[in-house]
């Protein structure tokens, strides 16, 4: 069984702690949803798992119960101490931000993971979710998959289609090499304290290596979507756009992934 609201309150109160809004601390208390995420991940005995934002350790314990080798990363020093005290040497705890230079995976995490295959399983802090998922999809071929709880709005961006408001750089960059599926939608009542938004669990599974220069493609896509309402011909040379069979009057948010790849390859 997972931790109840009473369990979490008691763990925090014993240390004089309260949930910190600036760290996006909303603790998952629905054990059924925890098990759904674990089942979707498929992790088991001996699998290396990265967990970001372990909180009071509810998901961490569930992963350990399945025999996983768990590395956690926690920004809050008080929660880092709590997890270390509760779980001891059963888990490798990194204290600090999961993101480093350029909002990519931190050097501390990279050093611990090395070149070992791993899976991300986490109730992700909202501020870190998008850059972390994109970084793993773009630069970490050893990441076997990402199974995470995130804001529903972010999940909508990951599963969006061209021509919709949610279609943008995050969906493009992750889905260029990964398949994304929605595991569950979580109302605020699945957490304590309750967030103001719905959340969702998603599974991100890689299907191949990143082709070409990942950072150059990402920069190109972000540049286009920064002016998503402008016609392509006003941002790029019309001849470049037409050379790949795209109407220069179209906007970035109407382009498919395949069209974005063609345009990026043709642009000077």
Secondary structure of 70-109 as H, E, C letters: EEEEECCHHHHHHHHHHHHHHCEEEECCCECHHHCECHHH
Q: Are strands 69-74 and 92-95 parallel, antiparallel or unpaired?
A: parallel
Domain with CATH 1.10.8.100 in the chain: 214-266
pLDDT on residue 212: 87
Domain with CATH 3.40.50.150 in the chain: 5-206
CB atoms within 10 A of CB 203: 18
Architecture of domain 5-206: 3-Layer(aba) Sandwich (3.40)
> Which of 149, 220, 144 lies closest to 182, judged by CA?
149
pLDDT on residue 1: 61
Residue 40 predicted with pLDDT over 70: yes
**% of residues, the chain, pLDDT over 70:** 100
DSSP E strands in 75-193: the ranges are 92-95, 118-123, 143-151, 178-186, 191-192
Show the CA angle centred on residue 134, arms to residues 129 and 135, nearest 5°.
Answer: 100
> Which of 130, 257, 127, 260 lies closest to 202, judged by CA?
130
How far is Cα 229 from Cα 236, in angstroms, rounded to an integer? 14
Q: Which residues of 61-94 are buried (b: 16+ CB within 10 A; e: fewer)?
A: bbbbebebbbbbbbbbeebbebbbeebeeebebb
Cβ–Cβ under 8 Å, residues 186 and 134: no
Per-residue pLDDT tens digits for 240-258: 999 999 999 999 999 999 9
CATH code at 214-266: 1.10.8.100
pLDDT on residue 253: 95
Residue 151 predicted with pLDDT over 80: yes
pLDDT on residue 21: 80
Mean pLDDT value of segment 219-237: 94
Per-residue pLDDT tens digits for 178-226: 999 999 999 999 999 999 999 999 999 999 888 889 999 999 999 999 9
Per-residue pLDDT tens digits for 102-132: 999 999 999 999 999 999 999 999 889 999 9
What tokens were used for 102? Answer: 């350029």
CA dihedral 223, 152, 144, 135 (to 10 degrees): 30
pLDDT on residue 193: 94
């Amino acid at each position: 069984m997972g931790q109840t609201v009473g369990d979490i309150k008691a763990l925090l109160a014993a240390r004089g702690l309260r949930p910190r809004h600036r760290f996006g601390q909303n603790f998952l208390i629905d054990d059924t949803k925890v098990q759904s995420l674990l089942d979707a991940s498929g992790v088991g005995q001996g699998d290396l798992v990265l967990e970001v934002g372990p909180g009071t350790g509810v998901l961490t314990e569930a992963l350990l119960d399945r025999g996983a080798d768990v590395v956690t990363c926690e920004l809050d020093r008080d929660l880092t101490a709590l997890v270390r005290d509760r779980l001891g040497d059963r888990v490798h705890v990194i204290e600090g931000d999961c993101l480093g230079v350029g909002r990519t995976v931190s050097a501390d995490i990279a050093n611990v993971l090395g070149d070992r295959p791993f899976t991300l399983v986490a109730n992700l802090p909202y501020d870190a979710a998008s850059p972390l998922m994109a970084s793993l999809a773009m630069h970490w071929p050893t990441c076997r998959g990402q199974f995470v709880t995130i804001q529903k709005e972010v999940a909508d961006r990951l599963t969006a289609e061209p021509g919709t408001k949610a279609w943008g750089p995050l969906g493009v960059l992750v889905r260029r090499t990964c398949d994304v599926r929605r595991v569950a939608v979580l109302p605020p009542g699945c957490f304590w304290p309750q967030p103001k938004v719905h959340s969702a669990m998603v599974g991100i599974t890689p299907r191949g290596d990143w082709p070409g220069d990942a950072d150059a493609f990402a920069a190109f896509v972000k540049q286009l979507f920064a002016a998503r309402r402008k016609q392509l011909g006003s941002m790029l040379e019309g001849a470049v756009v037409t050379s790949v069979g795209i109407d220069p009057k179209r906007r970035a948010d109407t382009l498919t992934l395949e069209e974005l790849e063609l345009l990026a390859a043709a642009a000077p």
